[in-house]
């Protein structure tokens, strides 16, 4: 069984030293779902604050770039790409975030942070219409690059690829 990388041999929490790792191209894709009432979905185009989906997309991109400021032991990464897609779906909004870098550690946290903040932004912009908004699940769909290899979630089950 592998050990958790953020603990040293004495059990103290620490930031992982990635200085000796070779840089590789890394990509991560994460997803989230925001459950909204049909009335709230119908009202999205008329939101006086602006287009909630476009604002959520920009908020998610900004969040990806600032992940290391939010998650205490994350390394700051020079992202070569970050984007969030927001799609209306039955019962709410599907969010997908993609993050890329060439570096010594992965971008899973950047993609997960992007969809989380995008989902929270939709909540913030729609809460006046719907107090029963739900967010989730938030999950990693895919990651490529790095020593641990590639991963892809298929039909709800995790698989190394």
Active site residues: 124
Q: Which of 33, 48, 32 is nearest to 128 (CA)?
A: 48
User: CB of 53 within 8 A of CB of 59?
Assistant: no
Helix, strand, coil proportions of the chain in percent (round to 5)? 30, 30, 40
The token pair at 16 is 């992982």
């Amino acid at each position: 069984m592998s050990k958790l990388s953020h603990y040293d041999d004495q059990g103290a929490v620490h930031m992982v030293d990635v200085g000796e790792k070779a840089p590789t191209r890394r990509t991560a894709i994460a997803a989230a779902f925001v459950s909204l009432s049909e009335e709230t979905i119908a009202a999205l185009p008329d939101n006086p604050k602006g287009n909630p989906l476009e604002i959520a997309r920009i908020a998610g991109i900004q969040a990806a770039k600032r992940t290391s400021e939010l998650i205490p032991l994350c390394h700051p990464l020079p992202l070569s790409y970050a984007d969030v897609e927001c799609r209306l779906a039955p019962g709410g909004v599907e969010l997908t975030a993609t993050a890329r870098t060439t570096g010594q550690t992965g971008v899973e946290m950047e993609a997960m942070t992007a969809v989380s903040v995008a989902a929270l932004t939709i909540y913030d912009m729609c809460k006046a219409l719907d107090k029963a908004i739900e967010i989730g699940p938030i999950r990693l769909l895919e990651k490529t690059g790095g020593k641990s290899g590639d991963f892809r979630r298929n039909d709800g089950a995790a698989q190394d690829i």
